[in-house]
Chain A
Amino acid sequence: MGKIRDLDGALAVIGDGTKLAIPFDYAGVAMEATRALIRRGVKRLHLVTLPASSLQAELLIGAGAVETIETSAVGFGELGSAPRFTAAVLGGKVRLKDATCPAIHSALRAAEMGNPFGALRGIIGSDILRQRPDWRVIDNPFGENDPIVLLPAIRPDVALFHAPLADRKGNIWVGRRRDLFTLAHASARCVATVEALHDGDLLADEVMAAATIPAFYIEAVALAPRGAWPLKMGDLYAEDTQHLLDYIALAQTEEGFRRYLDDHVFRRRAA
């Protein structure tokens, strides 16, 4: 079977309880796929955000699809906080593993290398360390009286992201969005949605190949034009700021959030 599937077919490897790694807005977020996962009613996801998330984690949490989230932040930047994430944390509805951006990079990089842990400066003296019994402080074995933090490798079951281009073999061109390489390398399997399909072999061209994730990391690819909407997609399209502002206003209440899901995810809008 080829790697190019329809959207639901490509998402079949993401099941209840999957440890799912997702990128931040600047790298290409698979929003159309996220709406499909919510429609399917996926449950108990363990989200790992590289290193933060906005609408994707927010919708999945609001829809009750997330049991655990490991993240350094969930929010909409200058547009505002993420209302369903905030409500879920305050209400104890989601297990939150607070992190800091480079810690998630380091833990995923350790998985890329097949190492059991990564090491990172900083953090000591932060209360985040106090809330993370899985992080350890050791004395640098090559130094003297030099404490440093160790982080266990994060090996997600599946990485999910949106990229500009795939060829029919399943090679994915990501440009300079190198976080997607980290996600694909670190995760056991990888599913991508793409803006367009490329006729020819992306690895045959030296310029394209340098920014291409080889198909052997990739489980399945689905075509999803404007698949990051309402988030931005590199230099292809900007975020739909007004849509996000409207979302934030609506999602202040559970009822408003359900209305948003009906309109934009389940598409049950009354005629």
Chain B
Amino acid sequence: MSAAETIKPEEVLIEVVRRLIAGARHIAVGANSPIPAAAAFLAQRLDPESPNVSLQQSPEHNLWTDGGRELFDSAGQGRIDVFFFSGAQIDGAGNINLNVIGDYAHPKARFPGAYGSAYLYFMVPRIILFRLEHSRRTLVEKVDFISAPGTSPPNIFRRGGPIALVTPLCHFSFDKARARFRLESVHPGHSVEEVLDQTGFAFDRPEHVPATPPPPAEVLPLLRGPVATELAAIYPKFAERIFGIPVGAAGA
């Protein structure tokens, strides 16, 4: 069995995110983001200038001393370089939906809520979107509800927004001026045809779409060793599923 076959799809996603956050000085990770957290921990260990990594839900990775508002206050001042969001739906114009499917007054499905998206999506220069279900159900032409808009008119104060969308099939970049995604690479084991078939929105693509590079040999042991252990204390279910660390092993 070759090394490529034993690399889990989540590890490829972590590697994509790791490259997207290169050079950032302060990476903030919100609730429910194990893949971004793993990429940020890797960046911390690999970048000689070790970026700040803030995890809202982890006391050991919590640089804040002024409560939950400090993340938003910092972002409002431009002190946060990278943040991550997902969405029940993400559309071709970069709009994300974390609230409802169907009519807002009589929804067909309800999700937890927008969290800080309606603000941070404007304020953080590099927003990375990731969605672990790549389908026409999740990646849609137009979201049912805009929790946070992909782009804004020129008179709206906005220093950031989406730069990429990472899914189990591929990596899209986002062109702010055109409010459109562009296919950058397709992950090993998948094809452009599959991406076209499973994506509900139109996107740009080069004539030859490269394959997404897997984590390099020097990154993999770091990811599966110390980073996996670090992750298990915060995302026990994820660490168990991907790295085989039993829930509860990280202790209280």
Contact = CB atoms under 8 A, between A and B. Distances in A.
Interface of A: 24-27, 50-52, 71-75, 77-79, 81-82, 85-86, 89-90, 92, 98-103, 105, 109, 120-129, 131, 145-148, 176-182, 234-235, 237-238, 241-242
Nearest to B108: A90
Interface in B64-115: 64-70, 72, 76, 98-99, 104, 106-107, 109-115
Contacts of A74: 112-113
Interface stretch (B45-53, B207-215, B234-242): B234-242
B118 A100 contact: yes
A182 B59 contact: no
A52 B34 CA distance: 19
A78 B34 contact: yes
Given A77-B32, A102-B69, A129-B118, 9 more contacts: A26-B57, A78-B31, A89-B110, A90-B107, A100-B115, A122-B121, A126-B147, A127-B99, A179-B68
B123 interface: yes
A200 B25 CA distance: 43
B155 A100 contact: no
A101 B119 contact: yes
Contacts of A178: 65-67, 69-70
B147 A182 contact: no
B120 interface: yes
Enumerate the 10 nearest inter-chain pairs by beta-carbon distance, A residue then B residue, closest first. A75-B112, A73-B113, A178-B67, A125-B149, A102-B72, A100-B118, A122-B119, A238-B252, A101-B116, A122-B122
Nearest to A126: B118
Contact of A124 (B32, B57, B98, B152): B152
A181 B114 contact: no
Contacts of B114: 72-73, 98-100, 126, 128
B220 interface: no
Contacts of A27: 67-68
Contacts of B153: 125
A147 B156 CA distance: 6
Interface centre among B66, B118, B247 (most CB of A within 10 A): B118
24 contacts: A24-B68, A25-B57, A26-B57, A73-B115, A74-B113, A78-B32, A78-B235, A100-B114, A101-B72, A101-B116, A103-B118, A121-B119, A123-B118, A123-B119, A125-B156, A126-B147, A146-B155, A148-B157, A176-B65, A176-B67, A177-B67, A178-B70, A181-B67, A182-B69
